[in-house]
Amino acid sequence: MLKPTHDADAASILFNLPGYRVLAAGHVDPDSEDAGRWALVEAVAAEGGCPDCGVLSGRIHARPVQVVKDVPCGGEALEVRVCKRRFRCQEAACARATFVEETDELPFRARFTTRLAEKTLASLRAEPRSIHAVTVESGLSWPTVMGLLTSTVDLATIPEQRLVRRLGVDEHRFRRVRYVRDHDGGVTRVEPWSIMLTGLDTGAILDVVDGRRGPAVKQWLAARPRWWRRRIEYVAMDMSSEFRAAIRKSLPRAKISVDHWHVVRLANDMVTTVRRRRIWETEQRRGRKVDTAWRYRQLLLANSSRLSTRQRARLNEVLDSDLQLKLAWGVKEHVRQLLATRHIDDFHREWAHLERAVKASNLPEAERLLKTLKAWRRELLTFCRTRITNARTEAANLNAKTFKRAGRGYRNHDNYRSRITAYAPTRTAA
């Protein structure tokens, strides 16, 4: 379809800045084409509204030219010069004499176009890149880009903007412990741990807080409004009693689910402890290649249902060589079966099997494991019923680390929080 082109010349169409037309364009240095180009643009609207009285005026008082930053155009440096009109207010009752035109693309005092700001924010949201990398691309300064980010991310309220039914709590270490000297000469230990709070339905990072597990989680939850806290039905976490105590106190209605990977790891650690102890007891030395149990130690920890026939045969050979190891392995497999259940009845049945296996094994390592699992039985049952895991949180942790690395470590924690919470990973079904 053809449109009338009376105020849309070819250059303006190519430049494509809404509300503006290109008046002229040229090379910065006519002798050298490498020095870049310039384009002089002007707003299409013939009138501007006075910010005080709102009356439109078309009486131009001055036409100063200002250079602004814009998105790259035509694949080479382009200097955008804006002919910014200053109008004279024609309302007799208005105290204001003149005013500068404002448009959507160039609001009051803007040094860069709105489309450049949007593009910059979009690339910050889409990829875990450093602020520095984005400044190079956009031509904006670091404080300008960080300012754009912090002005769009309101750290105090962002968690409330997301309705969270399932909350993930996890901690990650992002630097070494530091000791900071106080004014009075004492030394304060700065914890290197950050606690990451994630909305498990979307995988979005809600916040990152510094501090020790229990108090930091309690404080963070206490800062959220009551209605927001009451919506949380489930909380996924690793087996940390500090986290659990904090959640039970702050969110008494929420059910806690423990991540099954942590449980599997505990069971595997138990098998490894038994294997090491047995080699010491039989050989009076550490494990070596000649010991079948050491050579095939990975088979002992693997999910036995995924082993090939050959691996299976090797595993049996290892297990037959040591009864205690066989018993420990059996307990670990019972733990895996317990975690595979999805119904309460199956869970209770597998739990009974596990208890019997531990008792029959007579291994102190297995008894210690069972003691831990008993302390987390309710949370394990919640996991089996709901299959809610912290996998999303761990992915978020990875992103947080990427940001830290990409940003060479943020010294200002609020800048870091802005950077992380503004990043919105692609939504996928939970």
Nearer to Zn ion by C-beta: 96 or 387? Answer: 96
Query: H/E element holding 82?
Result: strand 78-83
Q: Which residues partner with 179 through β-bridges?
A: 189
Q: 393 in helix, strand or coil?
A: helix
Q: How far is the CB of 63 from Zn ion (least distance, A)?
A: 19
Angle at 125 between CA 190 and CA 231, to 5 degrees: 70
What is the tally of helices (H) and strands (E) in the chain?
A: 18, 16
Alpha-carbon gap, residue 339 to 256, rounded angstroms: 15
Q: Which is nearer to Zn ion, 50 or 384 (CB)?
A: 50
Which neighbouring-strand residues pair with 167?
A: 199, 235
Residues contributing to the site for Zn ion (CB under 5 A): 50, 52-53, 89, 91, 94, 96
Comparison of 46 and 429: residue with beta carbon closer to Zn ion: 46
Nearer to Zn ion, 50 or 256 (CB): 50
Place of tokens 């995988």: 203
Chain centroid offset of residue 209 CA: 13
Question: Considering beta carbons, is residue 26 or 54 the nearer one to Zn ion?
Answer: 54
- The residue (of 56 and 133) whose beta carbon lies closer to Zn ion is 56
In 131-190 the beta strands, taken as DSSP E runs, fall at 166-173, 178-181, 187-190
Given the complex with Zn ion, which of 53 and 307 has the nearer CB atom?
53
206 token code pair:
């809600």
CB 211 within 8 Å of CB 172: no
Euclidean distance between CA atoms 97 and 423, whole angstroms: 44
Strands 204-210 and 193-199: antiparallel
Q: Compare residues 23 and 94 and give the one whose CB is closer to Zn ion.
A: 94
DSSP code per residue over 257-322: EE-HHHHHHHHHHHHHHHHHHHHHHHHSS---TTSHHHHTHHHHHS-GGG--HHHHHHHHHHHHH-
In contact, 86 and 60? CB cutoff 8 Å:
yes
* CB-CB contact of 370 with 354 (8 Å): yes
Dihedral angle over CA of 267, 270, 275, 279, nearest 10? 180
Cα separation, 379 vs 241, in Å, equals 11
As a whole number of angstroms, the distance between CA 154 and CA 422 comes to: 10
For Zn ion, the closer CB: 52 or 320 = 52
Minimum Å distance from CB 107 to Zn ion?
Answer: 18
Closest distance between Zn ion and the C-beta of residue 65, in Å?
24
